[in-house]
Amino acid sequence: MKPPKRLQSLIEEGLIDTVVRQLMSGKEATVYVVRSGEDTRCAKVYKEATNRSFRQAVDYTENRKVKNTRQARAMAKGTKFGREATEAAWQSAEVDALYRLAAAGVRVPQPYLFLDGVLLMELVTDEHGDAAPRLNDVEFTPVDARRHHATLIAEVVRMLCGAGVVHGDLSEFNILLGADGPVIIDLPQAVDAAGNNHAKRMLLRDVENLRNFFGRFAPELLRSDYGHELWALYERGLLRTETPLTGRFVHKQGPVDVGSVVREIDDARAEDAARRLRAQTG
């Protein structure tokens, strides 16, 4: 196919040779299958962010570093320069998280380089060598559902312990089923577990998404509560990649935080709307 303009600089630099086809297009990026020498890879070309709400941006970008106070003020005011800086920060956050997670041994695509708003990385394939499907496009037996759920809970723990990262938007729509198991993708929402006050809420939602999806195929998973269990161990400094988890957690009784409940309801509505959009565009 004719190379998109955004990939032309990588071709001129000899970083990719040809563009094979478009793999997918979403609200944040378009992904292409490309050839680099003897290797087939994928190139994620970021789009300008226009669909993220201000509240979501504040939650995810809390404690993220910016270059200077001028940039921070512009981002807060939403000026043209500020919007460009915000978009650059989102792209950088995904790239940084991807390198951190790959170094920690988390099941993510291997990143190769980031240039001119394009992330070049490993193409995750299935057992036939074709581009791997999203979990949302696959039906599972109860045995496979339990196995993949256990694998992904272990990856959530590895992300937390090995890299100090919470995905922030983990669901069946951004996990691929590769030839050797699930691979986690799409990390612009990733947050620092120790530096973001919303990290716990985001992690609980990530784990709940996994439980609800795989629970469709193995209903006993719907009774599990790995999220609260592993976060409680993390807060106490007791969570390790080898820590055995039970999926059970006893909640303490106390006064209800109405504000948190309302926030969870709003987040659930936003997540449902996002799921519907991804299902329409996926």
Residue ranges of domains in the chain? 5-281
CA angle 75, 80, 86 (to 5 degrees): 35
Instruction: Provide the pLDDT for residue 257.
Output: 58
- What distance in Å separates the CA atoms of residue 147 and residue 139, rounded to the nearest whole number? 14
Instruction: With a cut of 50, list the residues of the chain below it in pLDDT.
Output: 51-56, 58, 60, 64, 66-68, 70-77, 79-82, 84-86, 282
pLDDT tens digits for range 36-70: 999 999 999 988 655 444 444 545 455 545 444 54
Model confidence pLDDT, tens digit, residues 231-278: 999 999 999 999 999 999 988 766 655 566 556 556 656 655 655 565
Catalytic residue of the set 17, 96, 126, 169: 169
- State in Å, rounded, how far the first CA of the chain is from the last one: 21
Closest CA to 192 of 110, 118, 257, 101: 101
Catalytic residue flag (residue 272): no
Amino acid 65: pLDDT: 53
pLDDT, position 71: 41
Catalytic residue among 59, 116, 130, 186: 186
Active-site residue, 169 included? yes
* CATH 1.10.510 matches 5-281: yes
The predicted structure's pLDDT at residue 52: 43
Q: In the prediction, which pLDDT does 93 show?
A: 80
φ, ψ for residue 114, nearest 5 deg: -135, 120
